């Protein structure tokens, strides 16, 4: 039965670049379930994260606000409890909200508007991973390093596989429970997987989907260190990319494993869609596919994220609701902060005026329904984490991408003519006016000197708090899942017949008694 407010199944990945998906043109990767959703849905071809790092990207997406606006600078930045999220807005509109999987919330609030949370997180919720811009040369042990590349290959299981198996199990079980529930509220279920995040290790089943000779190598080979831009040089340092040689075999194995990890989580998408269909929820459910950021995967000799280059910052964004939105592809640049106003518009059927001041994103509802694309639409993104020493900001408009840091030379790329971003147009006379316009727009949006002071002050404050909390008994903020076992399965205070009937889907009819005990006794 069709609902006025649709259910929303939001499927999120970690470190999945749009560049590596077949629905975005990759010739090797196998992801049939995501591809099917793309064929039947609306595909945003130029979707970006607003910060190419896990926590700030997720906080920004959930709040519809840029990281600098809410202090979401890095993977140990507090996500304030008083910032409304997608879950808060939808819950306020009558939705049941539930989270299964990773969100990397930092702070004592580990729900942020979700009525239920089914799993713990794979990453810590405390200040332990706070960077230090004033001591850039020091590399903490928790920084990324090249062992993720050197040790790429097959495994029987891993930390990440353990987590994603749990995420899928709880998500599917929740969908089954929702189908059997007496609660008539629409649901917002966020199912968030940690793959294809490094380390690049996957089971034989998915590794064997690919042969070594079909694995494509980076379009832009490793560049000498001195030819990298200053920000890439800093990332090279913080991730110790020179510690191990990037041999062709290591690069190939890492890409092989990464593609296999995509196929692994694509299979999870298939399981979720199968659960939706079998439970009768599919027709009333909008499915959203996205990721928090991408993965450089050896392009120009760079790995992981923390970069505004396409492989690290461009993400998949697919919205599947064939009964509501005809399949199409949208080329207008959009970003993750647009999802909050979009989903709330879908849930309410109208634009909430609070968005004009409360969020940085714009609703994509008109684009979903076939509206005209905006040629002046601009994506804004920030890097305020390790790998930077001052804010690195990005503007994407039309065919251009502009990158600015007050410590570095400007960068300007024409993505249609230079999709691999190898020709920096900044400084060329023919593009001075283009640069000047972007420079002015960036100056109006960001005071990077003042923002740097805020970032450094926050880092110092959080490191002090973390240092003190580790003296004596350490009390972490990590979410502790709880299930009430007294209400599960068979219990003496629950009616046997009612429990069995409500737990079965579809629920069986209760026939009239027709045996000896059911016959009326004549007196």
* pLDDT above 70: percentage of residues in the chain: 96
User: Is the residue at 453 inside a domain?
Assistant: no
Using DSSP bridges, classify how beta strands 400-405 and 392-397 pair: parallel, antiparallel or unpaired: antiparallel
Instruction: Tell whether 227 is covered by a domain.
Output: yes
Report pLDDT for 518. 62
Q: Is 455 domain-assigned?
A: no
pLDDT for position 519: 57
Q: State mean pLDDT over 336-354.
A: 84
What are the Cα distances from residue 379, in Å, to 65, 138, 342?
A: 12, 33, 16
Average pLDDT over residues 295-303: 97
Residue 104 known to be catalytic: yes
Does 272 fall in a domain?
A: yes
Between β-strands 411-414 and 400-405, what pairing exists: parallel, antiparallel or unpaired? antiparallel
Count other C-beta atoms under 10 Å from residue 497's C-beta. Answer: 9
Confidence of residue 351 (pLDDT cuts 50, 70, 90): low
Whether 49 maps to a domain, the answer reads yes
| Span 15-19, average pLDDT | 98
Report which of 309, 314, 354 is spatially closest to residue 65, judged by C-alpha positions. Answer: 354
Q: Residue 203 belongs to what domain range?
A: 7-369
Is 420 catalytic? The answer is no
CA distances from 20 to 17, 171, 200, 289 (A): 6, 25, 14, 14
Distance CA 9, CA 279 (A): 14
Task: Work out the mean pLDDT of the chain and round it to a whole number.
Answer: 93
Query: Which pLDDT value is given to residue 510?
Result: 76
Note the pLDDT of residue 517: 67
What is the average per-residue pLDDT within 1-9? 75
Given a contact cutoff of 8 angstroms between Cβ atoms, the answer to whether 142 and 466 are in contact is: no
pLDDT in tens, 177-209: 999 998 999 999 999 999 999 999 999 999 999
Omega into 199 within 30° of 0, i.e. cis? Answer: yes
In the predicted model, is pLDDT for residue 2 greater than 50? no
pLDDT confidence of residue 523: 44
Q: Is the pLDDT of residue 418 over 90?
A: yes
pLDDT at 146 over 80: yes
What pLDDT, in 10s, does the model give residues 470-518? 999 999 999 999 888 887 777 778 776 776 767 777 777 777 777 776 6
Q: Which position among 23, 49, 54, 435 bears the catalytic label? A: 54
Q: Answer yes or no: is 457 within a domain.
A: no
Q: Distance between CA atoms of 10 and 103, rounded to whole angstroms?
A: 12
pLDDT tens-digit series, residues 44-82: 999 999 999 999 999 999 999 999 999 999 999 999 999
Cα 500 off chain centre by = 38
Give the pLDDT score at 1. 30
Q: Note the pLDDT of residue 493.
A: 82
Higher pLDDT, 292 or 492: 292
pLDDT of res. 355? 61
- Residue 266, domain member (yes or no): yes
Looking at the structure of the chain, the number of domains it has is 1
Average pLDDT of span 334-340: 98
Q: What CATH number corresponds to the domain at position 218? A: 3.40.720.10
Which residue in the list 104, 195, 231, 293 is annotated as catalytic? 104
Task: State how far the alpha carbon of 70 is from the alpha carbons of 65, 189, 334, 449, 455, in Å.
Answer: 7, 24, 20, 17, 11
Question: Considering the domain boundaries, does residue 299 fall inside one?
Answer: yes
């Amino acid at each position: 039965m069709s609902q006025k407010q649709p259910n929303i199944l939001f499927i999120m990945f970690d470190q999945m670049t749009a560049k590596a998906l077949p629905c975005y043109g990759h010739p090797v990767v196998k992801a049939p379930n995501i591809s099917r959703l793309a064929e039947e849905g609306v595909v945003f071809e130029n979707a970006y994260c607003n910060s190419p790092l896990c926590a700030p990207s997720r906080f920004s997406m959930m709040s519809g606000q840029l990281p600098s606006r809410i202090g979401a600078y890095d993977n140990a930045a507090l996500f304030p409890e008083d910032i409304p999220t997608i879950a808060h807005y939808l819950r306020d509109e009558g939705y049941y909200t539930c989270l299964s999987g990773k969100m990397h919330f930092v702070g004592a609030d580990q729900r942020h508007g979700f009525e239920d949370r089914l799993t713990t997180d794979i990453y810590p919720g405390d200040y332990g991973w706070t960077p230090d811009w004033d001591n850039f040369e020091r590399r903490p042990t928790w920084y990324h390093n090249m062992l993720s590349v050197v040790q790429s290959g097959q495994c029987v299981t891993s930390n990440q596989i353990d987590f994603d198996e749990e995420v899928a199990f709880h998500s599917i079980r929740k969908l089954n429970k929702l189908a059997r529930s007496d609660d008539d509220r629409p649901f917002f279920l966020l199912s968030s997987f940690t793959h294809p995040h490094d380390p690049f290790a996957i089971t034989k089943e998915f590794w064997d989907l690919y042969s070594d000779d079909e694995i494509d190598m980076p379009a832009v080979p490793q560049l000498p260190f001195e030819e990298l831009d200053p920000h890439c040089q800093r990332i090279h340092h913080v991730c110790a990319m020179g510690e191990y040689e990037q041999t062709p075999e290591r690069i190939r194995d890492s890409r092989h494993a990464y593609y296999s990890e995509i196929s692994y989580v694509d299979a999870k998408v298939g399981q979720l869609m199968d659960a939706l269909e079998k439970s009768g929820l599919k027709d009333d459910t909008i499915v959203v596919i996205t990721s928090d950021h991408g993965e450089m995967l050896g392009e120009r000799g760079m790995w992981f994220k923390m970069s505004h280059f396409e492989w690290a910052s461009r993400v998949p964004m697919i919205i599947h609701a064939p009964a509501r939105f005809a399949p199409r592809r949208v080329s207008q640049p959009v970003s993750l902060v647009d999802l909050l106003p979009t989903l709330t518009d879908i849930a309410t059927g109208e634009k909430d005026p609070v968005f004009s001041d409360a969020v940085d994103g714009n609703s994509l509802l008109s684009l979903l329904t076939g509206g005209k694309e905006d040629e002046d639409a601009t994506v804004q993104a920030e890097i305020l984490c390790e790998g930077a020493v001052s804010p690195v900001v990005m503007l994407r408009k039309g065919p251009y991408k502009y990158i600015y840091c007050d410590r570095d030379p400007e960068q300007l790329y024409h993505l249609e003519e230079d999709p691999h971003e190898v020709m920096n147009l900044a400084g060329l006379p023919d593009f001075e006016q283009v640069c000047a316009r972007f420079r002015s727009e960036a100056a109006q949006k960001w005071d990077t000197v003042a923002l740097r002071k805020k970032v450094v002050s926050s880092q110092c404050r959080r490191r002090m708090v973390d240092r003190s909390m580790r003296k004596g008994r350490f009390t972490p903020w990590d979410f502790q899942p709880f299930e009430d076992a007294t209400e599960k399965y068979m219990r003496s205070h629950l009616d046997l017949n009612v429990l069995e009937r409500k737990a079965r889907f579809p629920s069986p009819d209760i026939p009239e008694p027709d045996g000896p005990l059911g016959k009326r006794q004549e007196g």
